[in-house]
Structure 1
């Protein structure tokens, strides 16, 4: 449906490398730079295939993921997504592609914090006529995903911005 509405969004066919080839090239960069922390956007660009993403995270301890604009894909596989969040709770950051709004946050909180069933996912463009299911994540996991993981990463750079400006 999404590609019917926006055929110019398709990158399928002989003119383009396959998704797998693009992701494998990216993953080689991750592996070549083990001392760099990478935050791979949109659940490593393959939220429909959490086995692949799990394998990536297992192979590359320097990689984290965020889930901006991927609530629809993750929320339609709630049991697998919940296991993923529990297993990789120290490697997942909250993210969004949308302009933050109270309604967006309310929907994300419902998805992450409750066991509600069959409700609308947030976002544009619509990516299918399915509904999503809540993950009902434990509080300790939610704290990490909402802010502690990001604080851990970015606290490494505390003071460096000021030092860089002073050196100009």
Structure 2
């Protein structure tokens, strides 16, 4: 074959291949982006937590995961988790059924109940009924309340009744919150969402995929914005000094933890769990290490990400190691690389279990 013709065909093939590759990149969706680090740097495989763990934020994931209760306990044993708190958000018959479900392992799981908001919008005596149900749930074994949730439209996590239009600092909540303190029952509360979810869903949003999925639409009637939501939490904590609050997911202040830090400085009855915010914070490891060191007595380990080997391993890797530039897109859905915090033994012991033990075994007043 003529050499010029041969080279010409090769050139056209190369050009076509490059064009195809370029076309693919141009049409690549961010949600399909799965980068793999090429850095030849230390990589730590963490097979177990360095110290015993209490997971303060989980749910009844068994149905969703297909796992059985015994299998979950074996997984906890494998990774050094001595106790898991199951936030049921339930009262009445549903809570009772969960108590029956988990009673096989009374030392491995603590169940927390919800609030019964039945009649909150039309019955002036609803708090009396809610307090009686709270006391009944405690006698059934409830150690705390949660996860109470409000993303701007009101308290809507609890079952069977959702309290739209009522926030945690509503005066109607005061007797209920006070009684929680008297019973020694901490309240795990979710307010707002991470700040990316309030930003425009466009090319400037660096948390774009999660921001699109969990976007908070502020054009809804009577919805509170992020700042207003954090204020409802602060008001409730301030006005109920005898009640312990656990702001889950770092109070969704992961973009500016000085907000949470200032509340820690002012209110000794406020704690925060770190659940489901590893992906958001492992991007700023040096800042996070300082934050953990400064507030080591107020932070609690939690997951809120199902029942999974790799999930546990990744949380320990972020907290315990100095590993750099690794990806966990499938777990956290962000395209950015993560880095370990390399926390000290003292901090790890407190975050993993010592802080939780102080709350769990505090005597009621």
TM range (shorter): 0.7 to 0.9
Cα-Cα RMSD: 1.7
2:227 counterpart (13, 20, 34)? 20
CA drift of 1:125 comes to 5.1
Residue equivalent to 1:11: 216
Give a deviation string over 1:46-102, Cα, whole Å, max 9, x none.
111111111111111110001110001110111111111001111100011112322
**1:131–1:84 CA distance, 2 compared to 1 (3 A):** same
CA drift of 1:118 comes to 0.9
Give a deviation string over 1:110-160, Cα, whole Å, max 9, x none.
11111110112476451x210111000011110111111111110115xx8
2:341 counterpart (119, 135, 145)? 135
Q: Secondary structure at the match of 1:57?
A: helix
Residue equivalent to 1:163: none
Give a deviation string over 1:7-39, Cα, whole Å, max 9, x none.
xx3223332221111110111001001111111
Which structure is higher in helix share? 1
Structure 1, unpaired ranges of 5+: 161-168
Aligned residues: 154
Cα distance between partner residues in 2 of 1:89 and 1:76: 20
Cα distance between partner residues in 1 of 2:306 and 2:215: 25
Structure 2, unpaired ranges of 5+: 1-208
Q: Secondary structure at the match of 1:64?
A: strand
Residue equivalent to 1:76: 283
Residue equivalent to 1:166: none
Which structure is higher in strand share? 2
Residue equivalent to 2:350: 144
1:110 counterpart (305, 310, 317)? 317
Over alpha carbons, which structure has the higher Rg?
A: 2
Q: What's the TM-score, normalizing by structure 2?
A: 0.40
Residue equivalent to 1:165: none
**1:36–1:68 CA distance, 2 compared to 1 (3 A):** same
Q: What's the TM-score, normalizing by structure 1?
A: 0.85
